Structure formats: C-alpha cells, structure tokens
Amino acid sequence: MGSPTPPGRDRPATVIAPSILSADFAALGAAAAAMTAAGADALHVDAMDGHFVDNLTLGPPVVAALAAATSLPLDVHMMLSDPGAWVGRFAAAGAASLTFHLETCYADGGASYDAATPTRAMTDAELAAARSLCAKIRDAGVRVGVALRPATPVHDVAALVASGDVDMVLVMSVEPGFGGQSFMAGVLPKVAALRAAAAGGPGLAIQVDGGVSPDTVGAVATAGANCVVAGSAVFGAPDPPRVISILRAAVDDAASAAAAVPAAAVPTAVA
Ligand code: DX5
Ligand code: ZN
C-alpha cells in the first residue's frame, strides 16, 4: 500500500490539513467551508477521550455532521485508549483516514509512556495487536494511520510500514491533547528516518502535527513530511489562505529539492 510519489518529488502529494480543534466549535460547518475556500486538502479532526489524553472533544456524530457539510477528506486523529472500538463508527460516519496511537497497543495501553524517556521496543504480541488494528481499519475501507507520541521511537512503526500495513505515519511534534503548544524540533530525525526508509518503495505519507506554522514548516518539510497539520497557525491567522499557501510551498519546495539529491546522499538508518 502507500501513496504514489508524483514525478519530480521524493514523497507523495502535499496535504495541508487544518485542525478543526482550533476552529469555533459552534460553527464547524462554516469552518469547513472556509478551509475549502482557503485551499486546504483535508480537515484534521482530533478525537480525544479524556483518558488517552487529558481533554475531551468529539466523536462519530460530529464527524458525520462534518462529512455532510464538506467534501474535504476527514483525517481523524484518534487520541483514544481503545481506538479499535471506534473504527467502525468513525468509518460509517465518513472518515477518510483513521490514525491510532501506537502506544495504545502496548500491553499496558500506553500507561507507562514517559515523555522524558524513549519508549522500549514493542514485543511480538504488541506488534501483532498493532497489525490487527491496521487490518481492522483497512477492512473498514479507510486509510490507515499510525501516530507516535514525541518519545515513541520509530523502529516499530517502520516494521509496520515495511510489511505494508500502514498508509500514513503521524509524527507528533507536541504531546497530544491541546492545540497551541510549542513545536518540538527533536522529533524531526524520526521523520527523516521514515522518509529515508521509504525511499525506493511505494510512497509513504508522513504527517507532522503540533506547533506547525510558517516559522517551523521549513524544518518539517526538509525532514520529509508531505502532510502538515496546523491548527492555531491557520485558524488564528488574519489570512488563513496565505498561511496555507506558505505551508504548501514549503513542502512542495522540499519535495522537489530532495528528489534532485542523489540517492546515495540520503541517510538510510532507522533509529
Ligand atoms: C494536538 C492535536 C493537534 C492540534 C494541533 O493534540 O493533535 O492536531 O490541533 O494544534 P496546533 O497546530 O495549534 O499545535
Ligand atoms: Zn491531531
């Protein structure tokens, strides 16, 4: 699986996905229409359960209402402790992609996650649980995304990508839960490692979410992301279309610059 890589680029098509977490929740239909007019490619929808993260947002009924209001693909980021329980309902509501957190597949459900310490490698049983969740999402007819919290290393998801189970990897550049946090540049080597590992194969969609703005998108794009989520930077701007076009130009420029670099110059290590 994966997404095709257009000629002259090193990665799939650019996707700018404003996060409706920063929109006016009393006017989501208007926000979706404004983002369509502003040139967005998708809408990022942050579903939080008050357990996996310390915030509570929305679920399938809101996704269904959005799906009726917009033709933009709905990219649902499931910050939920039991994502598998919600796959069918989000798919039926009209989600185009469903991204679950890899940490939820750990035997302890991710409870031992420590932002200050890289997470240990997954056991075979934990990886099998992640594979089965990927399959459940794909069987529901929806694109499969896997998200990594900032301290979660890349090797386990790289294994899922290599076996063709995953369409998109979401590298979080803030701890999930809230919009408007500061960008964590320390996660970018994970993006670079995933892009390098995907080189030569079917294109891998790599999304970066958290603190992305015109100031930080250059580093995100250079690292290899093709999909950028931005909440406060878009919805908080006086001119959202301008922000979206800046984000798009940064990713497009980096995609063509990287395609011009000889393959031997690209690092291949997966950390
Ligand atoms: C955070 C969410 C993000 C959030 C990003 O948990 O996953 O999608 O909306 O907001 P900004 O772009 O403001 O960091
Ligand atoms: Zn998100």
Give per-residue pLDDT as tens, 179-208: 999 999 999 999 999 999 999 888 999 999
- Mean pLDDT for 160-164 is 96
For 101-142, the pLDDT digits (tens) are 999 999 999 998 999 998 889 999 999 999 999 999 999 999
How many angstroms does the Cα of residue 229 sit away from the middle of ligand 1?
7
**Quick one: pLDDT at residue 266?**
53
Helix (H, G, I), strand (E, B) or coil at 254: helix
Higher pLDDT, 164 or 268: 164
Distance of alpha carbon 122 from alpha carbon 104, whole angstroms? 11
How many angstroms does the Cα of residue 70 sit away from the middle of ligand 2?
19
Residues of the chain above pLDDT 90, percent: 90
C-alpha triplet 159, 130, 64: angle, nearest 5°: 120
For a mutational test of ligand 1's pocket, the pick from 57, 178, 213, 217, i.e. the residue with the most ligand atoms closer than 8 A to its C-beta, is 178
Average pLDDT along the chain: 95
Distance of alpha carbon 127 from alpha carbon 55, whole angstroms? 27
Parallel/antiparallel/unpaired status of strands 227-230 and 15-18: parallel
For 28-37, the pLDDT digits (tens) are 999 999 999 9
**Quick one: pLDDT at residue 268?**
53
Cβ(231) to ligand 1 under 6 A? yes
For a mutational test of ligand 1's pocket, the pick from 15, 21, 28, i.e. the residue with the most ligand atoms closer than 8 A to its C-beta, is 21
- Mean pLDDT for 238-263 is 94
Residue 84 is classified by DSSP as G
Q: Which helix (H) or strand (E) holds 89?
A: helix 87-93
Task: Report yes or no: 169 and 206 within 8 Å, Cβ to Cβ.
Answer: yes
When pLDDT is cut at 50, 70 and 90, the band that residue 26 belongs to is: very high
Q: Is the pLDDT of residue 146 over 90?
A: yes
- Mean pLDDT for 89-112 is 96
Q: Which of 41, 46, 75, 156 is catalytic?
A: 46
Higher pLDDT, 216 or 201: 216
Higher pLDDT, 263 or 241: 241
For 67-80, the pLDDT digits (tens) are 999 999 999 999 99
pTM over 0.85: yes
Cβ(177) to ligand 1 under 6 A? yes
**Quick one: pLDDT at residue 261?**
83
Longest CA span, the chain: 51
Q: Is the pLDDT of residue 264 over 60?
A: no
Cβ(77) to ligand 1 under 6 A? yes
Helices (H), 109-230: 124-139, 155-162, 188-198, 217-223
Distance of alpha carbon 66 from alpha carbon 28, whole angstroms? 7
**Quick one: pLDDT at residue 3?**
83
Cβ(147) to ligand 1 under 6 A? no
Distance of alpha carbon 35 from alpha carbon 72, whole angstroms? 9
Cβ(211) to ligand 1 under 6 A? yes
How many angstroms does the Cα of residue 178 sit away from the middle of ligand 1?
6
**Quick one: pLDDT at residue 262?**
65
What are the Cα distances from residue 78, in Å, to 22, 66, 128, 219? 16, 16, 19, 25
Q: Is the pLDDT of residue 1 over 90?
A: no
When pLDDT is cut at 50, 70 and 90, the band that residue 271 belongs to is: low
User: Catalytic: 209?
Assistant: yes
